[in-house]
Structure 1
């Protein structure tokens, strides 16, 4: 590449800096930019197309086309060459535009006669903002140097857009990060919250885009890279050697930090006129754009590494995020791409709500959010790009929606919803200490799910009869190394102390699937939900199971103890687990430690196979707990993490209720206590139907106990059972419609 062109590139960026410095309205700036690009490149046409919404591009400024077409010409994403550039994020460079696939002639622009076309995406960190187009009458392809120059200008335009350089009059763009935006995601934890945005990883805003002194900018880049490398080396030094997986990740980090290609590209960008920050972000934007096109998991991880290193570099160069943190608002709504359980626990109950771009319905972060009773919406695409610290936001966990910078109408409706919920909570509080006795005289046991000490205060406030499921894996997931037996024993003892004599059912370690311990090498399985998890891991690693069983026995301190094994698929697995418990009890007896006053051992019925186990299994277990979340996904062959299928199948489907009824009948015949645990137990309509088919114990999140108790106390289960049976005789697919009609009439 010639030195002359590099000088011209810097000259163009220098003139752009002058445009940015002027006190001008947004449209005037856009017009000046198209003029100077056309002049510098000695071409006839330069145009800027910007997104008006996520599907529509608008011609916002032009030099060379019909000026009356500005703000009148629009095209959809993917339409014409401009739309193709916007959709794919790839440059189109052709010497024969009219005969290029996808070309769309727009007569109102007066673009006939321009053979050459180059379109470059205007995007920032994967967010599509528009397209920069240059055209020429000469039938030629633009050179590599010219393509690069326009790409650099497009990147600067993206930053200027981010900084609000093109607002100020009605014809220009709307102010970014100021207008209301609704994000429709997926419900992971119900509830409503109103507050202000707190970004888990605040976005670095680059204000210094163009470098005046390339030598000084190169010095700044090298100083930042040196600091970055020292930091990565420090992480490697402090890493626990022997943890091969962790070391591999950090070695990959160091490889990128020392990448000559990465450095060379950034140095070239600086020599062409960019600041050190802009050069780093240009590389980051390239990596983000590639991320969306790479299917290979390994390559995606490496691109994520590069993205993270770029963020670290930008923080070093700008000083953002390296000094005193901004003050968290008093009503924080946490916004993040994703978050781990330990990080979430660090925030604790200070959070009013959480919105994630990624996340999973069954992830351990979701379990922590449920334990803390914090409304959570996941799969809210692009919210980390749009949200700014301090923005007002409403989180509707019931609908899976987040309203960022909401208007007054939305705020008023949301305020009414929260008021109605508060009134309902008052009604539930009035029956907190009353039994869940139905109109037909049957009393159900309503217990709560827990997994943290922070859950236990809800035992009193919710009116729960006890803890039907205490998830013991959370104590393993939030640590960087395996917890010690003494630590677990102390925790289990405190859990039982907090229960004040109420029954607590401890589920043994349920890891695998989406719950991978930080210090345990993950297994690459094609379908982890049906793979090496839960009791399968415990039986293959009996040392861990024995340690936990000993901790539970010691934590009981002579009190009654209830334990259940998760994900039992056949009788032999339960028997093997019981043998390990008997060994632990015998060991504790020999050591002279007090044994539990009574010992109840149960199993979670989460696989259809266990429903058909021999009668002897039902006699062997002290109790059974139906794990509704897993059982339903296996029954319907519908992955509960897959949004395309998980909502397609209804819990109140006749076939599923009939299957559950078969389990109820087997338990009644063998006198085996049965409970139902899962999301459906906490949904009032579903809970009433489960009670109607004979399930007398339900375990749910604490906030659901009030609504479930309320509907049960106003329902005649015999009448409801008749409604369900009649729907079956008619051949209905689901009993939901007729049950809803019945409840509306009766309640």
Structure 2
């Protein structure tokens, strides 16, 4: 009986493939599909609902319901049994539909009260595309074999939807992957770039979900799995024996690659009529569904391994992807769901832009993109589904907008924007060696942020006076194991060599929150930004801090050294961290190593509490740097990773500027050098306002130094300060309108 079911399933899939292959209008194809399914399943009704938008399902075809309801009947996700299937991505199978939870009768369809209902999600690897439904007057629970057949048909529908089979009227209309598309995301790194798509992990498109000869497909699968196993064995042989975590991951790969259960399930899928590729994808979708339900982080990682292994197997079977030797374009724009810092650094500066579906403004990828000055857009939903290798693409990192396959009008406007930016850079180059001196004679010192050796050439080309922040965590984030002290000492020495006589402020390891080391157990904190991070980790686990301090002292090799501790929230944390520096100096002295000719130890002011620290703290600290990104989010209680609130509060808010002015006054009183570091330091309007409030040193990304210097040189800071104070006296919430009016009239 099971064999008969499989044979009928294979026949149905064959007829379905033939119907989809016909050169007919999309609606006609859908109508044939519903008729075929209803006939084969012995049901009065078969309907296909597809997503019109993220929250709305539309009846797109039906056998048995009122034909006039097609494209007229719509449901919200969660509404009725169909909406329940769409929301939960789970099968609903009942012989008493009117009594089932969530049932909704739709009189406009002309449907009778059908007793039996079976709905399966139409989805492809986690992307929900719609719902496939069969209904029957007779009370019946659909069997597992029948549900399996519906799931297979739903997967085929998903593939055909993915390929554009249901878009427009037949082959004459534009299909998916051909039309111009615009994606609105979030700016992760400013800048504009034009190029061609390079997919980090090309999405495999299964064009032959149904097969005629199971024996041929089984042979293809067996051969591909063997190739996969050989590849995994080679990776294991090439792995570093000392890297236990990498070996553990590869051993998990080997376990899955040799899993008899995985192989058996794919063989059964082929026996039911699927091609080898579709069988792999069927099991991959099942694994992803299980992944969504698993809360244990270890098990989720293992399921992620299986997902990655399935992608490798699909690329072997289809010949798609990087393994085939696809050539990266000369002007690559990287497209990915997400990407780690190590992988991004492997691409390096050859990338013209980066577009991610996931990520955050503080993610590792964003940090590296900023360090490399590559335009980055995050939260570009479904861009990996739409983009294909080689597609023309334009990335506007300023606005967080991506134009895929843009039309001529967009291309012209975008190129004009890039040309204007290039002209502006030429103007900035002309003042590169001039001081950032305002019209009233105030000099502002501009420094650059860095985190990679690749950043250091920007010291001379940007006009920066030094490195106001060197992020040391990047060297920890891009590795699979803790770097050695000698490696760090060599790197820090090269940084100081490249900077020549210019000052470099080394910020000690700033981990935790959104920066979790690959080899560090995650803490699973409810609010990591306010949790165990930065100097708190260093003081609780001082071994790493001592190792890093020794590396910095040895890198200096008799030169001046500047060290800064991140996320100091109270005086005692600074004194404890400073004591570790003194201990490290004593150890180096005992060992006979040369000591720095001069050493400065400062702190980042990133919490409002430090603004009210005892005067003794301000007297003892060698310098302070305001970490604007964190300070602003804590001052306004607005998570900078939360799109709903992060743009709600303005840096030029009167309350925030008044708080900054208080810090400036305290530092003037104690003679403490003060700087401002963060995204706002690199925005010209914000930068001149910070300078007007008394900040005389700003640190920013290299590309921002020219625009900031240009505006400072055209402004009278004394007059601007009066404008800010007048706005405050009037009770303005933000000084921005008044400042913009002053600048326009200057």
Superposition deviation, residue 250 in structure 1: 5.2
SS of residue paired to 2:328: coil
Give per-residue Cα distances to partners, 1:268-314, cap 9 Å, x unaligned. 32221112221221122233345556666555444433322321232
Give per-residue Cα distances to partners, 1:208-247, cap 9 Å, x unaligned. 3223333443454455445545655665676667877656
Equivalent pairs counted in the alignment come to 745
CA distance in 1, matches of 2:621, 2:538: 18
**Structure 1 residues 181 and 290: alpha-carbon distance in aligned structure 2, compared to 1, 3 A threshold:** farther
Q: Are the equivalent residues in 1 in contact too, given 2:209–2:274 (CA < 8 A)?
A: yes
Who is 1:635 aligned against?
635
Matches within 5 A, 1:171-250: 175-225=175-225, 227-228=227-228, 249=249
CA distance in 2, matches of 1:289, 1:387: 24
Q: Are the equivalent residues in 1 in contact too, given 2:23–2:171 (CA < 8 A)?
A: no
Superposition deviation, residue 260 in structure 1: 5.5
Matches within 5 A, 1:558-577: 558-577=558-577
SS of residue paired to 2:413: helix
**Structure 1 residues 296 and 398: alpha-carbon distance in aligned structure 2, compared to 1, 3 A threshold:** farther
TM-score by length of 2: 0.92
Q: Are the equivalent residues in 2 in contact too, given 1:27–1:172 (CA < 8 A)?
A: no
Matches within 5 A, 1:405-424: 405-424=405-424
CA distance in 2, matches of 1:652, 1:260: 62
Superposition deviation, residue 676 in structure 1: 0.6
Matches within 5 A, 1:671-690: 671-690=671-690
Matches within 5 A, 1:73-472: 73-95=73-95, 101-107=102-108, 109-112=109-112, 115-166=115-166, 169=169, 175-225=175-225, 227-228=227-228, 249=249, 253=253, 256-257=256-257, 261-292=261-292, 297=297, 300-321=300-321, 323-472=323-472
Who is 1:517 aligned against?
517
Residue 12 (structure 2) pairs with residue 7 (structure 1): no
Bigger mean CA offset, 96-105 vs 726-735: 96-105
Bigger mean CA offset, 640-649 vs 590-599: 590-599
Q: Are the equivalent residues in 1 in contact too, given 2:184–2:401 (CA < 8 A)?
A: yes
Superposition deviation, residue 579 in structure 1: 3.0
SS of residue paired to 1:358: coil
CA distance in 2, matches of 1:36, 1:170: 20
Bigger mean CA offset, 246-255 vs 34-43: 246-255
Q: Are the equivalent residues in 2 in contact too, given 1:44–1:135 (CA < 8 A)?
A: yes
**Structure 1 residues 520 and 83: alpha-carbon distance in aligned structure 2, compared to 1, 3 A threshold:** closer
Q: Are the equivalent residues in 2 in contact too, given 1:605–1:626 (CA < 8 A)?
A: yes
SS of residue paired to 1:595: coil
Who is 2:551 aligned against?
551
SS of residue paired to 2:390: coil
Who is 1:478 aligned against?
478
**Structure 1 residues 532 and 75: alpha-carbon distance in aligned structure 2, compared to 1, 3 A threshold:** closer
Superposition deviation, residue 686 in structure 1: 1.5
SS of residue paired to 2:538: helix
CA distance in 2, matches of 1:505, 1:587: 22
Give per-residue Cα distances to partners, 1:314-354, cap 9 Å, x unaligned. 22333433733211111111111111111111111111111
Structure 1: stretches of 5+ with no match in the other structure: none
Give per-residue Cα distances to partners, 1:385-413, cap 9 Å, x unaligned. 22211122221211222222233333333
TM-score by length of 1: 0.91
CA distance in 2, matches of 1:629, 1:392: 34
Superposition deviation, residue 2 in structure 1: 3.0
Q: Are the equivalent residues in 2 in contact too, given 1:26–1:172 (CA < 8 A)?
A: no
Q: Are the equivalent residues in 2 in contact too, given 1:71–1:171 (CA < 8 A)?
A: no
Q: Are the equivalent residues in 1 in contact too, given 2:315–2:323 (CA < 8 A)?
A: no
SS of residue paired to 1:323: helix
Q: Are the equivalent residues in 1 in contact too, given 2:243–2:480 (CA < 8 A)?
A: no
Who is 2:654 aligned against?
654
**Structure 1 residues 146 and 481: alpha-carbon distance in aligned structure 2, compared to 1, 3 A threshold:** closer
Superposition deviation, residue 143 in structure 1: 3.3
**Structure 1 residues 39 and 562: alpha-carbon distance in aligned structure 2, compared to 1, 3 A threshold:** same
SS of residue paired to 1:150: helix
CA distance in 1, matches of 2:696, 2:181: 45
Superposition deviation, residue 604 in structure 1: 1.4
CA distance in 1, matches of 2:190, 2:216: 53
Q: Are the equivalent residues in 2 in contact too, given 1:27–1:167 (CA < 8 A)?
A: no
Give per-residue Cα distances to partners, 1:538-578, cap 9 Å, x unaligned. 33444433333333233334332222122222333333333
Q: Are the equivalent residues in 1 in contact too, given 2:116–2:136 (CA < 8 A)?
A: yes
Who is 1:539 aligned against?
539
Q: Are the equivalent residues in 2 in contact too, given 1:349–1:372 (CA < 8 A)?
A: yes
| CA RMSD of superposed structures (Å) | 3.0
Q: Are the equivalent residues in 1 in contact too, given 2:605–2:627 (CA < 8 A)?
A: yes
Give per-residue Cα distances to partners, 1:126-176, cap 9 Å, x unaligned. 222233233334344433332221111111121122234445726998612
**Structure 1 residues 170 and 210: alpha-carbon distance in aligned structure 2, compared to 1, 3 A threshold:** closer
SS of residue paired to 2:523: coil
Structure 2: stretches of 5+ with no match in the other structure: none
Give per-residue Cα distances to partners, 1:582-636, cap 9 Å, x unaligned. 3433444455544333222212122223222222222222211111112222222
Who is 1:664 aligned against?
664
Superposition deviation, residue 374 in structure 1: 0.4
Bigger mean CA offset, 719-728 vs 81-90: 81-90
CA distance in 2, matches of 1:509, 1:311: 35
Give per-residue Cα distances to partners, 1:409-442, cap 9 Å, x unaligned. 3333323322332232233223222211112211
CA distance in 2, matches of 1:20, 1:467: 61
Bigger mean CA offset, 275-284 vs 130-139: 130-139
Residue 604 (structure 2) pairs with residue 608 (structure 1): no
Who is 1:714 aligned against?
714
